[in-house]
Chain A
């Protein structure tokens, strides 16, 4: 043991004895405490609500201005959503004394929007209707899957699977702008419903 200066005896007395049971208990404690951060990272009802509203606004817009002209809408709403989300997490951290990193959520949302745009443009250039209209939604679904793995959240994993089901269901029933609008409404419903469920769970309401 390293020698410590005065006043350290009481600290040494609490040292975890290196017994297998104590080591196992210490590992369990570490895992439980590390889970606090992960659970907070997975509590994303606020950004889910914001993105749900963005998709809800996108549905009629796709029918009015054409699906290939939605880039300005996404640019404006994404910047606003990022700003609002960062402010929400900052305020929440201030109120309850634990601040979680905002960057995994922001990086995921920026990457999925850019990825969706690339999929849409690629589909347009290759004359692939599927890639042009369903590609962006599949990209968003893939990023949701990745984020659910980072946050180890079954809740977000289920969201991602429902989103994939929405894409699969919309493909045979609609084409072009109608398909984009259908998928956007489906995504908005999934995001807003899961945001509501998560908010209820977070605030203890049922």
Chain B
């Protein structure tokens, strides 16, 4: 079996991109300004990460031209949800592997559990 770190997807495994997918997974859609405020990032940085996610087919974006200024709405795709679930699973496995007790920490067998020699 491969180590879970090998299953981490480069398109997802990044703080801002993982944050975008996590936020979008719980809502119908979010606009650029809200994503920027929630994730505490800059216009340029967020735009760059959204482009990576969109090229990978993990999100879709639409421009809303209503009002004085254009607004970009972002929505997670089915592929994006699957990728996020896979990433969460891999991260959980990494944490579980590290937090599992090592051989040195395992309790030693009690004397009564040893096989008899006579």
Contacts and interface: CB of A to CB of B under 8 A. Distances in A.
Contacts of A4: 10
Contact of B91 (A15, A26, A98): A26
Contacts of A2: 10
B78 to A, nearest CB: 15
Contacts of B38: 33, 36
Given A11-B48, A16-B18, A18-B8, A36 B91 contact: no
A109 to B, nearest CB: 18
Interface residues of A, number: 34
A202 interface: no
A37 B25 contact: yes
Contact of B19 (A18, A29, A101): A29
Given A20-B99, A99-B29, A27 B88 contact: yes
B95 A15 contact: no
Contacts, number: 93
A54 B16 CA distance: 44
Of B10, B38, B98, most buried by chain A (CB within 10 Å of CB) is: B10
B91 A40 contact: no
A97 interface: yes
A173 interface: no
Contacts of A7: 48
Interface in A1-54: 1-2, 4, 7-8, 10-12, 14-16, 18, 20, 23-24, 26-27, 29-30, 33-38, 40-41
B46 to A, nearest CB: 12
A2 B13 CA distance: 12
Nearest to B67: A94
A40 B34 CA distance: 14
Contacts of A20: 94-95, 98-99
B49 interface: yes
B23 A101 contact: no
Of B27, B84, B92, B95, most buried by chain A (CB within 10 Å of CB) is: B27
11 contacts: A12-B10, A20-B95, A24-B95, A30-B84, A30-B88, A34-B23, A34-B25, A36-B38, A37-B27, A97-B33, A101-B28
